[in-house]
Amino acid sequence: MFALKRPLEVPDRELIAAALDGSEPAFAALIDRYKDRVSRLLGRYCRDPVECEDLSQEVFLKVFRKLHTFQQESAFFTWLYRIAVNAATDHMSRSSYRRLRLVEDETVLDPGSRDEASPVAPLMAAELAAVTREIVAKLPEKYRTILILREYEDLSYTEIADVLQIQMGTVESRLFRARQRFKEQLERLHPELVPGRDLEPASGRGRSPGGGVQ
Amino acid sequence: MKISHDDEGNLHRLLDGELLPEAAVALRARIAAEPALAARFRALEGLRSCFAGDRFAGERGSGAPLSAGFTAGVLAAARRLPSRHEMDEQEVGDGVIVVCRRLLLAAAVVVAFGLVWRSGVIGRVFEVSHGALEAESSEMEQEIQRLDALIQSGAIGERSPK
């Protein structure tokens, strides 16, 4: 039986091997290690906490079923993220629920939750956060996913390539285009919220980053 | 001043910490010296601040914590799953069912086509379309000559214009 005295110090590889041998505590340790990240990632696709928890459970059950197929060449968490991203996109297409649901998030709209000196700044920041979420929700799935992985999950280009199983060059061009799409939407819908809009030379606006900017 | 495609890509890579240290130093030096590059980089940094703000909000609020019994719940659900061997068998079985279903569908399409063919509907459609086709020019020429010959032989009369 696999014993977990200090689970955080046990490498993923050992936990996986033990879980494959039928150790429930080892699999529980894997879940405990990654459940918050998975939940946070899925929370970017579905905002309903109950739905998000169900989806998280679905992800870990799929991990349980497919663990024997995991190739140790890549990091476990990128494999896990791949499953989570696929589950999220499947879930959204299943329920014809292709967009993030905008929730009036009390934390986002609570001016007291931020520490800026100006009383206006927190409101602006909250509005910007809500608008950002709204725009990301409306982006095509491939752009939304790559922005979520890069901007919210802080994955490197290599990790994103691994999760999405695409080439590095594709990661770059897709990410640059996603940012450009985001910027265009922000400029179109809320030009007053575009950060540093006075900084960029006028000739540089509206061009594709992937396709040359003037 | 124009920003080249390569520079634009490198600004994104710098922003994402994906440039090699020496390349990053060189690009930062250029940003310090070139206002257009600096402005573009600041704009990208500004854009990133949108996500940083939303990330902050997400981490504090909407990243709803999972219930306390989440892990136990997953383990309980996993226990109810069939064994890996059974799951493999089930997967194979599911695969066979899918293949059989597709084969049956293909067979049904072939049989349906055969029945329609035998009923002669398709033949009639082709006949109709053949009937609608114009004659070849050589055939037309032959037919005109035949009619001319008949007129000349008096077998049929030539109509006089009114």
Measured between beta carbons, which residues in chain B are less than 8 angstroms from residue A126?
57
Nearest CA in chain B to A129: B54
DSSP B62: I
> pLDDT averaged over consecutive 10-residue blocks of chain A (214 residues)?
57 92 93 92 86 93 91 89 93 63 41 46 75 89 94 94 94 94 90 67 44 36
Domain count, chain A: 2
Those of residues 73-102 in B touching chain A at CB distance below 8 A are: 73-75, 77-78, 81, 84, 87
Q: How much is the pLDDT for A73? A: 81
Q: How much is the pLDDT for A163? A: 94
Establish if A89 belongs to a structural domain.
Answer: yes
Shortest Cα–Cα distance, B66 to chain A (Å): 6
Q: What DSSP string describes B68-93?
A: TTHHHHHHHHHHHSPPHHHHHHHHHH
A12 lies in the same domain as A92: yes
Q: How much is the pLDDT for B81? A: 81
Nearest CA in chain A to B57: A108
Q: pLDDT, tens digit, for every residue of B6-51?
A: 999 999 999 999 999 999 999 999 999 999 999 999 989 988 888 8
Establish if A107 belongs to a structural domain.
Answer: no
Which sign does the torsion angle of CA B74, B75, B79, B82 carry?
Answer: positive
Task: Please answer yes or no on whether B8 and A106 come within 8 Å at the CB atom.
Answer: no
Q: How much is the pLDDT for B53? A: 73
Establish if A3 belongs to a structural domain.
Answer: no
Helix axes A120-138, A168-189, angle to 10 degrees: 120
**Alpha carbon separation from A188 to A123, A131, A142 (Å, rounded):** 20, 12, 21
Measured between beta carbons, which residues in chain B are less than 8 angstroms from residue A16?
none
Query: Nearest 5 degrees, angle CA B130-CA B136-CA B141?
Result: 140
Query: What average pLDDT does the structure give for chain B?
Result: 83
A63 lies in the same domain as A129: no
Q: How much is the pLDDT for A101? A: 47
Q: For position A84, which CATH number holds?
A: 1.10.1740.10
Q: How much is the pLDDT for B127? A: 64
Interface probe, candidates B2, B5, B74, B94, chain A, greatest A C-beta count within 10 A: B74
Those of residues 56-75 in B touching chain A at CB distance below 8 A are: 56-67, 70-71, 73-75
Q: How much is the pLDDT for A2? A: 53
Minimal Cβ distance to B3: which of A52, A56, A204: A204
A136 lies in the same domain as A170: yes
A147 lies in the same domain as A65: no
Q: For position A185, which CATH number holds?
A: 1.10.10.10
Establish if A113 belongs to a structural domain.
Answer: no
A36 lies in the same domain as A81: yes
Predicted confidence (pLDDT) at residue B52 exceeds the cutoff of 90? no
Q: Measure the CA–CA gap between A46 and A56, rounded to whole angstroms.
A: 11
Q: Where are the alpha helices (DSSP H) in A96-212?
A: 106-109, 120-138, 141-147, 157-164, 168-189
Measured between beta carbons, which residues in chain A are less than 8 angstroms from residue B70?
31, 35, 53, 56-57
Establish if A203 belongs to a structural domain.
Answer: no
Place of tokens 């520490």: A115
Establish if A37 belongs to a structural domain.
Answer: yes
- For residues B60 and A111, which has the higher predicted lDDT (pLDDT)? B60
Write out the residue range of the structural domain in which residue A159 sits.
120-194
Shortest Cα–Cα distance, A209 to chain B (Å): 6
Task: Please answer yes or no on whether A213 and B3 come within 8 Å at the CB atom.
Answer: yes
A150 lies in the same domain as A180: yes
Those of residues 114-153 in B touching chain A at CB distance below 8 A are: none
ipTM reported for the complex surpasses 0.95: no
A129 lies in the same domain as A59: no
Q: How much is the pLDDT for B70? A: 92
Residue among A47, A13, A48 at smallest CA distance from A30? A13
- For residues B83 and A162, which has the higher predicted lDDT (pLDDT)? A162
Q: pLDDT, tens digit, for every residue of B122-144?
A: 777 666 555 555 677 888 888 88
Task: Please answer yes or no on whether B36 and A204 come within 8 Å at the CB atom.
Answer: yes
Minimal Cβ distance to A43: which of B18, B42, B64: B64
A94 lies in the same domain as A124: no
Establish if A104 belongs to a structural domain.
Answer: no
Task: Please answer yes or no on whether B70 and A196 come within 8 Å at the CB atom.
Answer: no
Where a domain ends, among A63, A98, A133? A98
A47 lies in the same domain as A82: yes
A147 lies in the same domain as A67: no
Q: pLDDT, tens digit, for every residue of B71-82?
A: 999 999 988 887
Minimal Cβ distance to A105: which of B57, B75, B77: B57
A127 lies in the same domain as A93: no
Establish if A208 belongs to a structural domain.
Answer: no
